[in-house]
Structures are given as C-alpha cells and as structure tokens.
Structure 1
Amino acid sequence: MAKQNIVVVGAGYAGVSATKFMAKKFKKNDDVSITLIDRHSYHTMMTELHEVAAARVEPNAIQYDLQRLFCRKKNVQLVTDTVTSIDKDQKMVQTKNGQYPFDHLIIGMGGEPNDFGTPGVKENGFTLWSFEDALRIREHIEKTVAKAALEPDAKLRKAMLTFVVCGSGFTGIEMVGELIDWKERLAKDNKLDPNEISLKVVEALPTILNMLSRNDAAKAERYMKKKNVDILINSPIVEVAPDHIKLKDGSTVATHTLIWTAGVKATSDAADFGLETARGNRLVANEYMQARGYEDKNIYIVGDLVYYEEFPNTPTPQIVQAAEQTGHTAANHIVSAINGGESHKFKGNYQGFMVSVGAKWGVANLFDKIHLSGFLAMVMKHIVNLKYFFDIRTGYYMFQYIMHEFFRVRDDRNVARGHTSRNSNVLWSVPLRVFYGLVWFLEAFKKIVGDGKWFTPSTWFGEESWFKGDSVFPWTWDYQSAADAASGASEAADAASGATDAGADAAVEAGNTIFGLSYAYGEEPMAVIENSPEWFMNIMKTIMPNMEVAMFFQKMMVFIEIGIALCLMAGLFTWLFSGATIVLVATFCLSGMFYWVNIWFIPVAFALMNGSGRALGLDHWVIPWLQRTLGKWRYGKPKPLYGQK
C-alpha cells in the first residue's frame, strides 16, 4: 500500500477525538502517518473557560499539552503553526512556516464569537471563546474592581462594579455563575461591600437557557435571582460603549465590563479555503463529514466548523458532544477507506445538557428523562468531564482535573463546598508521623526480641519471638496443634495490637472482654473480630498452605513493619506506606489479631496521607524528583516549538 498522509487541522475536541481514534486504529500500520496542526501547543478544555475567567482555577487547569496527550502515539506528528491556505487540487496544506501534503484531510478549526455586527463589541466588549479571552477577562475584572475601590465618585464606582453578560446560553450563564461565587472574594480583597458589585444577564430572546426544558431553565433563573442577578430579557444590545451599553428600547446600562457570549460562527480563518459555506459561515458536509463537492479529495469538516443537517434546517449543534461525534465519524470513514470495513454515517447521540451556575449549583437534563439540580447536577457534570479524560486516554490530566476542581480551590468554590479543598499546613502533622512510625517500629521490634532483653542482641530471636517455634497465624491450625495455635494467636495479638499480655485469656473468656477505644487498667480489651470469617481463613490457607510458607510470611511481616516504620519516621513515600498500614490493620482485624483500643491506627494513617512527608521529610525531595522522572519516561521531555533540528 502506498504511504498515506493524514492531516488534521485543529486540536479542539473534534480534532483530538479524531486523531486519538486514528492513532489507535493505525498503530500497527507503518504506511500511515498522522499530522496534527494547531496554532497552539495545547488543547483547551473550552467548557471550563469560565472557571479561569472568574479565577476559580488557575489557567493551567484547562490547558492540556499536546505532547503529553500524544507522546505515546508514535504515528502522530505534532505541528504548532497557523494554516493559511489549502490547495485542494495539489492536496497540500500551507502554513506560515511550511506545507504538508495529504491524502486525507480533516478540518476542525472550530468557531469564533458572533457579534452580529453590533457596534462597539470588538472595541469595547470581551468575548469568551479562547484561553486568551479567559485570561483577558480575569485580568480586566481584577484591575477594574481594584480601581473602583479607590474611586470616590459613587456613580462612576457603580458603573465600574457593574458586570454585564450578554447571552443566556450555557457559556453566559456559567460565566455569571462564576461571578456570583467570585464577588465575595473580590470585595474582601479590595475592602468593598459585596452588595456594591452588580451582576446582570442581558438576553435578546424572551427566555433563557433555551437548550434546556422550561422547568430546568426556570430553576436556574430562580437561583440566579436569589443571588441578586438581574436578568433582562427581550433586551437586544444595539451598541457597546466603553462605559455603557445601549439596548434596543433606548435605555442604557452603565458598565465598564460587557462579556459577550451571544453567538458562535465558524472561524474566519477557514473563509478563504474555497469550500461551500452555509449559515454562520460553517462549511457544508455530507453524512460522512466529507466537504460537499470535494468528496473525491478526501476533505472532511468536523466540530463547530461543520454544517450538516441532521434534520431539515437543523444543523449539528455547536457543542462538545457533537464535535467529538463528528470527529469520530470522519476518522472512522478514513479508517474504513484505508483498512477496509464498514463506514458509519453520522448520527447524533446527545445524552443530555448540563449547565453550572457557579461551583456549587447547576441543572442537568439527561436522556430527556432525568432532571437534576443543585449538588447532584454538579456531581454529574464532573463525572462527564472525567469521562472525557477517559475517552482521550489521559490519566495524567484526569488526575490534574481532580486536584484543581476538588483540592486546590479557594473560598469553598467546589461542589464539596470547600470540605475537600482546605490547604492545611502539614508541618503540624510531623510529630504525629514520627510517633506513628515509632509505634510500628516498637511493635515490630518486640516480635524480634521476644522474651529477650532489648539492649542485649545476643538474647534476641528467642522464645516468644516471631522467629522461633511455629507460626502464630490462626489460619495455620490445620498443620499445628490446637494448643500451640492458641498460644501463637495470643502472642500475635500482643505483638500486633500492643495491648496487655492478657490476650489469651481474652480469647478464651470472650464474654468478659470490654469494648473501648482506649485501654483502661484492669479491663480485657475486645478484639475487633473475635473469629476470622471463613472466606478470609480460606484465602489465607491458600496463600500459606504449610508451616514453612507460614513462617516465611511471618518473618517477612516483621521486616515489612520495620520498613514501614522507618519510612514513616523519615517521611519517605508517606502516602503509600500510610495506605499500606490501613491494609495491614484491616488484615489483622480480619484475623482476630487486633483490638478496638488500637483502631486509631486507621484514622491516623488517613490523616498522614495528606502529604505529611513533605514537611521535614524525604518526600520534600523524593516525590518531585519521582514525578519529573516518571513524567519524562511516560510523556517524554517537552520539546521547543521552534528551532528543532
């Protein structure tokens, strides 16, 4: 087969989806190469732009490096450049810095804001359609509020503190929702009364959120009004000035900040490609996403750029679900053309719509049947976002998303209302970490010393140590005497829990044991589980089928406990070994070898998993080094965009 060159223009949702799909399908085909071209070196999670614009998350939270996304795809070449033209006859993509021949071309350059020719929007308004837009809005709002705090003129200050969002689609409502959450922080940082900050939504139509059911939209409207958002419907904006906007009815709204989210059209960069256009300058395609009139040239249109009527006069919506599905359709058709097999026509499968109104509240309509609002809607939105990372096979950015959304936010701005996001000072957990490690070390060392003397090594490994006699594990009863087993079980209880030496009596006289979470003198502590469950005994007997194996595990357990103890005291791999202690304690509990008075082992282990090894511990150096090293191994070393030889 002749070498096949596939070029994908645009690393948006559609382009990434198509490239990932084809890279997997052509993984073992050395005759196919894929080139992904985008003017940026990163993929932007467009659905979360409002979070950056309103300072809920840091900018890098929605920016996913393409080298990381495709570093394991050896058949994908990444090019950071701007496409200037497409020679359809010669089948050549021309960029500012080069040209790329193609046998199959996917164009997914996305859309751009549509201001419908409204005077002043470009000069005086702010759009929210790119990473740069989000940063521009964020910086402008912070500076404007800071200036307003020093402005003595009440009328001017009011205009500066009035923020207007034009458009009540998903983008507009999500943007105003973030401003609801942000205004308390803005006011506090600038010594303002939060009530001075005014939020408005201006909509030309008589209703808002028109992709949702009226009931769901009404819930969102009630929530925003409860948060003092002023919603102006039937109010088209006819002019945008630096210090006010003018509405169609002649009225004006004094503001220094208009965020325009009222419409989307195809990117103007594709206007000169010579392909058939339709409403909003979108490029017309057939059911396989092939550009109309150029099916023989193997040119495909995907994402927000494509105009394909699923139903009469109803093109594919410009949403993420449609973008991914159009990209998949085009990629599938290319794979079928090269490898053979059935090609599938586009069929939209929209599983629902969700909109967040801030970090804590939202509405969702799933499968036209399930309607959620509030906390559950936000949980579903996060689940959908996590599924996206799974779809594009990036565990790294899935982890980063979880950290940014749940653990690295300020002012309780997450669905858990801040309960997961407090950044504690782990320095104060150092004494607990050292003490916890010391407890493990002493308990392990007792199993070595037995009835010997601690400071006389020649007496170690004697009677009652785990290195002498038969196994202490209760599931070894099948191959040792009952008396020995009972004695061994009591020794194990002493060693594992650190309680008194009355363990054997407690096992025999179970009725006299007393439940408690701390030891009281004279009491017989109660075991967490008096008798191991049968299923657990069967597993252990399988793992340790004879005395030799049981003794090996018994001795190895001592050294494991010493290793855990030393690592905890030194702050090395604290998260990992704290988790390991939870597993060990659970095993001791199931074996009947652990008392309630020492159940504190488990909550302490969870507490130490909060990065406690980063303060006065080796994790301060080891974990960052490990992250860098594994990152280079997994994703490679990021290369410069230009000047490569």
Structure 2
Amino acid sequence: MPQINIVVVGGGFAGVSAAKSLSKKLKKNSDVVITLIDRHPYHTYMTELHEVAGGRVEPSAIQYDLQRLFSRRKNVQLVTDNVTELDHQNKTVITENGQYAYDYLVLGMGGEANDYGTPGVKENGFTLWSWEDAVRIRRHIEDTVAAAARERDAEKRAAMLRFVVCGSGLTGIEMVGELIDWKPVLADKYHIDESEIELVVVEALPEILATIPRVSSNKVEKYLTKKKVRILKNAPVVNVAPDNVELKTDENLPTHTLIWAAGVKANTDTDEFGVEKARAGRLVANEFMEAKGLENVYVIGDLVYYEENGKPTPQIVQAAEQTGHTAAKNIAAAIQGGEKHPHESNYQGTLVSVGSTYGVAYLFDKIHLSGFFAILMKHIVNLKYFVDINSLYYLVQYIFHEFFHIKNKRNIFRGHLSRYGNVLWSVPLRVFYGSMWLVEGLKKAFGLLGAESWFGDYVALPFSWLQDPASGASEVVEETVAKPVFGLSYAYGEEPMMIFKEAPGWFESIMKIMIPNTEMALFFQKFMTYVEIAIALALIFGLFTWLTSAATIGLVISFALSGMFYWINIWFIFVAIALMNGSGRAFGLDYYVIPWIQKKAGSWWYGKEKSLY
C-alpha cells in the first residue's frame, strides 16, 4: 500500500491537538506519516502570554519543545519552516526551504492581532499574540520604567509611567492584571513611588469583558477600580502616536506604551492559500472542518470560520482543541473507513485571571467563582491540558514555574510555596537523620548496644501468628507497654505510648499474606535491615534524598501500623518531609547524580532538542 501523507500546518493548540489525535488513531497503520510544520520548534502556551509580558514567569516557561511533545509518536515527523504556498492541484505544501506532498492537509496556523486599520497601531503599539510579542512588551516596560526613574521632566516622566491597554476582553484584562501585580515590584526595583505608575484600560464598548456574564465582569471592574486602574468605556482609539494615544472622545493619553488587545483575525499568511474567506479573514469550513471548495483540506482553530447555532466558533483554546479533534476524526474515518463526524462544541466555561491572586470563572453555564477558587480552577484546567496531550514533563514544569520557582510572591499562594531557598541548612539534619537510621540498622544487623540481632532466629515482628507461646514473648510485650503515657517528647520515668498497641485488622490481614510464617518473617527482618542501612547511607551521602526520604515515611507508617512505633518518634515523618526539599543538592551526591540522570533519561526518552526540525 502506498504511503499516506498527512500534513498539519501550525503547532498551536489546534495543530498539536490534531496531530496528537491523528497519531493515536492511526498508530497501527504503518503506511501513515504525519508531518507537523511550524515556523518555531516549540509550541507556545498562549494562555500564559500575559504572564511573560507582565514579568511574572520567565519567557522559557511557555515554550514547549515539539520534540518533547511528540518524541514517542513514531508516526509524526517535525519540520521547522514557514509555509509560503499551497499547490492544491498537485497536493503540495511549499515552504521556504522545501516541499511536502499531502493526501490530507490540516491548516491550523492560528490568528493574529486585529488592529482594524487603526492608524499608528502597527508602528507604535504593542500586540500580544505571540511569544515574541510577550517578550517585546516585557523588555519595553522594564526599560521604560528604568528610563522614567531618571527622567526629571514631570510631564515626560508621567507619560512614560502611564501604561494603556486597549481592549477589555480576556487578553486585555489578563494583561492589566499582570501589570497590577508587577507595579509594586517595578517601583521597588527602580526606587520610584508606586502611585506614579498609572494603568489605563480603554474599551470601545459600554462594558468590559462583554463575553462573560455581567455578575462576573462587574466583580472584575470592582477589583480593577479598587486597584486604581482607570477604565475608559465607550472610548475607541482613533490614533496611536509614539508618545500619545488619541481617543474618539477627544481625550488624549500621553503614553509611551499602548498594548493592543482589541481583537483577533486569521493569520494573514493564509491570504494566498486559495480558501474562501469570511469575517476577519477566517477560512470557511463545513461541519466536518473541511475547507469549502477543496478536497481533503481541513481548517481548525482560530483560523476556521464555521457557524454553529448562528455564531462562528469562538477563537478560544477549547474551540481550537475541539476543532482539531473533529478534523482528526474525519481524516481517520476517511483512511480507515467509517462515517464522518460533524463538529459538536462543548465549552465548559470561561476563566479570567486578573493577576496572580484574583480572577473570575463561569463554569458549565451555572457556576460562578471568584478570587482564590477561580484562580485555583484555572490552574487545574491548565494542568488538565498537559494530561490531555500526555506530557508529564511539562505538567511538572508548569507546577515548578507557577508555584515553586515564582518570584515576588506572584502566585495563588502568595509565594508561600516558593522554593528559592538555601538547602545548605538542611545538610546537618540530613546527616544526623541518616546516622540515626544507620545506628538502628547496625543494631538490628549485629545486635549492638543491647539490641537483639534480626539475623538470628529471633522473631521481632509482634504479630500473634508469628509468636511462640512457649517463649513468653507475649508476656514480654505486655510488660514492655505497661502503663504507657502519651507524649511527643520523652519524660523521665514515663513509659512511651505506642501509636498502635496492636496492628489494625485490615493491616494484619495484609501482613498475614505477606509474612505467613516464621521463615518469611526472618527473611523479611533481614531485608528490612538492609533497607534501613541503605537508606541511612543514601541520606548521609545525599544520594536520591527525595526518594529515600519518601521511603522513610513509608517505613515509619508500616512500623506504626505494626504496633512497633512510639508517639515520641513521630518526628521521623516530619524530618523526612523537610529533607524532600532537595537537601542532597548541597554537599551531597545529588548535586552530580540528579542532573546527570535528568540529562541521560531526557535524551533517551525525548531525544535531542533542536533549534530546527
């Protein structure tokens, strides 16, 4: 059978969704080759552009290398190139550096900012629709505030410190929210009064956030007002100069920064692609995401114009992913045989962050959230995205850059989880804790310091079915735990209280299966002794400290459930948790071993990342 070529153009939400879905559906068909073409070697996490532009996370935090996303998909090949032309007659995608034949073509090149022909926006404004846009805004704001701090002219200084966001949709409000958070940080860094930095939102409509229910948008407006953001409604921008924004209301806003977030249109690179266009340059498709008038060509994401219930598909992430899935289903059906699948949207809600600690959410057409819970839900939705695209690596990276590596307390927990700390202070505790486990292991191994060796015929485990009634062990145990006194520290003259005097019934049932007789008990005791010594040495030398600390927690819990652990030693668990902070990275083998493993394992699992594919 001849090779079947599927070409997906665009590595955004829609393109990745379509390519992943096609790869999975067609993985058993060795004749299918899927080629994903994008001008970048990475996927940009567009929903966090404002976080980069507003200085919250580093630019690299929203770049997800395509190799890492598709490394285990053997039927997907990656190409870094810019598509310049489509030859529909010969079924060929022409790029700046090559040509790619296709049997099925998926166009998911996304959109770009729509300035509606407003004079001066292209020359003097800043759009927010790409990674490059976000980095450009970030650098400009930082440089502008730094220059303003040295400006002596009051009017010039005020204009430099006035930041105007045009458009109060999701992008505009999320951008101004980041500026709210960034304002005190910039003021402190450049030694200026925070009140000098003015934030302005300009909206052509009579309301902000017109696409969400009024109850939610009103909360956002109230929050912005509380944060001293100036909101100008019914005020379209008519001209943008290098140092001034002119409004239709005849008001002028002296500023060096206009961030344009007033609309989106189809990617203008598609102008010559030979597909019928609709409003905002979007390409017309039917209910199967098939481009109008073209065979085996599909349009998805922000690029597609398909009316559902009289309205075009919205240019949001949920729609991008769902149109990508629809196209993938229909291509798979065409190749494997089967019925076509009409597009059925299922939008589960809208989430808007207004900075790192406040937001609103409207879910399932009935649930309204605001504040902490809205932001928490947004993080959960973001994490779900990585589950959907099967990327554990970037799920972990998201957790790190949003919670543990955050600066200036700019996250939902206001910096309480930030892990930029010196683990040096954990080293003495790590060595002490490891030494304690070593002593306990050696006592069990050699019967030191008055202890009974676990390597002889002595059964130390207190389970009833392992005890010899003639040995009097039960009486010894009873005598040992007589008159126990609860305490979290040892007091002279008191007998410490065990956490469990005897194993709970459910745990005892498990142990009967694992350790049914004396022979197994003796083997288990030896094995546990080796484990304790291994854990001790790993902690002392700082090797795999996260795993070994987790293992000690498991040991303590099992000892406690076995009726062999005292309340006064419950601190074992909390020390182990404290040592999971990366304590082996200071004066420990983890300093060398973990980066080496990450490099080797990453290369084996994901392959080598490249600047061009």
Deviations 1:89-125 (A, max 9, x none): 1111000011001100000000010000101101110
Query: Could you tell me which amino acid in structure 2 is paired with residue 474 of structure 1?
Result: P
CA distance in 1, matches of 2:582, 2:524: 30
Q: Which residue of 2 aligns with 1:602?
A: 573
Q: Which residue of 2 aligns with 1:160?
A: 160
Alpha-carbon deviation of 1:488? 10
Query: Could you tell me which amino acid in structure 2 is paired with residue 626 of structure 1?
Result: I
Query: Could you tell me which amino acid in structure 2 is paired with residue 505 of structure 1?
Result: E
Alpha-carbon deviation of 1:452? 6.8
Alpha-carbon deviation of 1:480? 3.1
Alpha-carbon deviation of 1:489? 8.1
Q: Secondary structure at the match of 2:376?
A: helix
Q: Which residue of 2 aligns with 1:500?
A: none
Q: Secondary structure at the match of 1:474?
A: coil
Given that 1:211 and 1:353 are in contact with CA atoms closer than 8 Å, whether structure 2 keeps it comes out as no
What runs of 5+ residues in structure 2 fail to find an aligned partner? none
Query: Could you tell me which amino acid in structure 1 is paired with residue 148 of structure 2?
Result: A
Q: Which consecutive aligned stretches of 4+ in structure 1 deviate over 4 angstroms post-superposition?
A: 487-490
State which of 633, 636, 639 in structure 1 corresponds to 2:604. Answer: 633
Given that 1:39 and 1:81 are in contact with CA atoms closer than 8 Å, whether structure 2 keeps it comes out as yes
State which of 380, 383, 393 in structure 1 corresponds to 2:380. Answer: 383
Q: Which residue of 2 aligns with 1:290?
A: 290
* Residue pairs, 1:196-207, within 5 angstroms: 196-207=196-207
Deviations 1:278-309 (A, max 9, x none): 00000000000001111xx2000100000000
2:73 maps to 1:102: no
State which of 411, 415, 418 in structure 2 corresponds to 1:414. Answer: 411
Given that 2:443 and 2:449 are in contact with CA atoms closer than 8 Å, whether structure 1 keeps it comes out as no
2:257 maps to 1:265: no
CA distance in 2, matches of 1:451, 1:428: 31
Q: Which residue of 2 aligns with 1:55?
A: 55
Alpha-carbon deviation of 1:638? 2.1
Q: Which residue of 2 aligns with 1:495?
A: none
Q: Which residue of 1 aligns with 2:2?
A: 2
Deviations 1:366-388 (A, max 9, x none): 01111100000011101111111
Alpha-carbon deviation of 1:2? 3.0
Q: Which residue of 2 aligns with 1:498?
A: none
Alpha-carbon deviation of 1:611? 0.4
* Residue pairs, 1:25-40, within 5 angstroms: 25-40=25-40
Q: Which residue of 2 aligns with 1:568?
A: 539
Q: Which residue of 2 aligns with 1:11?
A: 11
* Residue pairs, 1:430-445, within 5 angstroms: 430-445=427-442
2:458 maps to 1:470: yes
CA distance in 1, matches of 2:18, 2:50: 26
Given that 2:434 and 2:536 are in contact with CA atoms closer than 8 Å, whether structure 1 keeps it comes out as yes
**TM superposition score normalised by structure 2:** 0.98
Deviations 1:377-409 (A, max 9, x none): 011101111111011110000000010001000
Deviations 1:602-630 (A, max 9, x none): 11000000000000000000000010011
Q: Which residue of 1 aligns with 2:236?
A: 236
Deviations 1:321-375 (A, max 9, x none): 0000111101100000001123210011100000000011110000111110000
Q: Secondary structure at the match of 1:427?
A: helix
Q: Which residue of 1 aligns with 2:401?
A: 404
CA distance in 1, matches of 2:474, 2:525: 15
2:489 maps to 1:537: no
**TM superposition score normalised by structure 1:** 0.93
CA distance in 2, matches of 1:439, 1:211: 61
Deviations 1:230-280 (A, max 9, x none): 111101000001111000011101111100000000010001111100000
Identity rate, percent: 64
CA distance in 1, matches of 2:489, 2:44: 53
Q: Which residue of 1 aligns with 2:71?
A: 71
Query: Could you tell me which amino acid in structure 1 is paired with residue 594 of structure 2?
Result: I
Given that 2:266 and 2:303 are in contact with CA atoms closer than 8 Å, whether structure 1 keeps it comes out as yes
Could you say if the C-alpha distance between residues 452 and 442 of structure 1 is closer, same or farther in structure 2, counting changes exceeding 3 Å? Answer: closer
CA distance in 2, matches of 1:219, 1:334: 44
2:346 maps to 1:372: no
Query: Could you tell me which amino acid in structure 1 is paired with residue 231 of structure 2?
Result: I
CA distance in 2, matches of 1:482, 1:112: 81
Could you say if the C-alpha distance between residues 480 and 531 of structure 1 is closer, same or farther in structure 2, counting changes exceeding 3 Å? Answer: closer
* Residue pairs, 1:84-483, within 5 angstroms: 84-294=84-294, 297-312=295-310, 314-450=311-447, 464-475=452-463, 477-482=464-469
Q: Which residue of 2 aligns with 1:501?
A: none
Kindly tell me the number of residue pairs found equivalent between the two proteins: 613
Over aligned residues, Cα RMSD in angstroms?
A: 1.4
Could you say if the C-alpha distance between residues 479 and 438 of structure 1 is closer, same or farther in structure 2, counting changes exceeding 3 Å? Answer: closer
Could you say if the C-alpha distance between residues 417 and 104 of structure 1 is closer, same or farther in structure 2, counting changes exceeding 3 Å? Answer: same
Q: Which residue of 1 aligns with 2:528?
A: 557
2:479 maps to 1:505: yes
Alpha-carbon deviation of 1:25? 1.2
Given that 2:41 and 2:611 are in contact with CA atoms closer than 8 Å, whether structure 1 keeps it comes out as no
Given that 1:206 and 1:234 are in contact with CA atoms closer than 8 Å, whether structure 2 keeps it comes out as yes
Q: Secondary structure at the match of 2:428?
A: helix
CA distance in 1, matches of 2:351, 2:90: 44
Given that 1:489 and 1:593 are in contact with CA atoms closer than 8 Å, whether structure 2 keeps it comes out as no
Given that 1:9 and 1:36 are in contact with CA atoms closer than 8 Å, whether structure 2 keeps it comes out as yes
Q: Which has the higher contact order (CA 8 A, sep 6+)?
A: 2
Alpha-carbon deviation of 1:153? 1.1
Deviations 1:471-525 (A, max 9, x none): 21122x22432464736985xxxxxxxxxxxxx5342x2xx21111111111111
Query: Could you tell me which amino acid in structure 2 is paired with residue 234 of structure 1?
Result: N
Given that 1:471 and 1:488 are in contact with CA atoms closer than 8 Å, whether structure 2 keeps it comes out as no
Q: Secondary structure at the match of 1:258?
A: strand
Given that 2:442 and 2:448 are in contact with CA atoms closer than 8 Å, whether structure 1 keeps it comes out as no
Q: Secondary structure at the match of 2:537?
A: helix
Deviations 1:2-57 (A, max 9, x none): 32110000001110000000111111111111100000000000010000111111
Given that 1:470 and 1:484 are in contact with CA atoms closer than 8 Å, whether structure 2 keeps it comes out as no
CA distance in 2, matches of 1:197, 1:479: 75
CA distance in 2, matches of 1:121, 1:214: 30
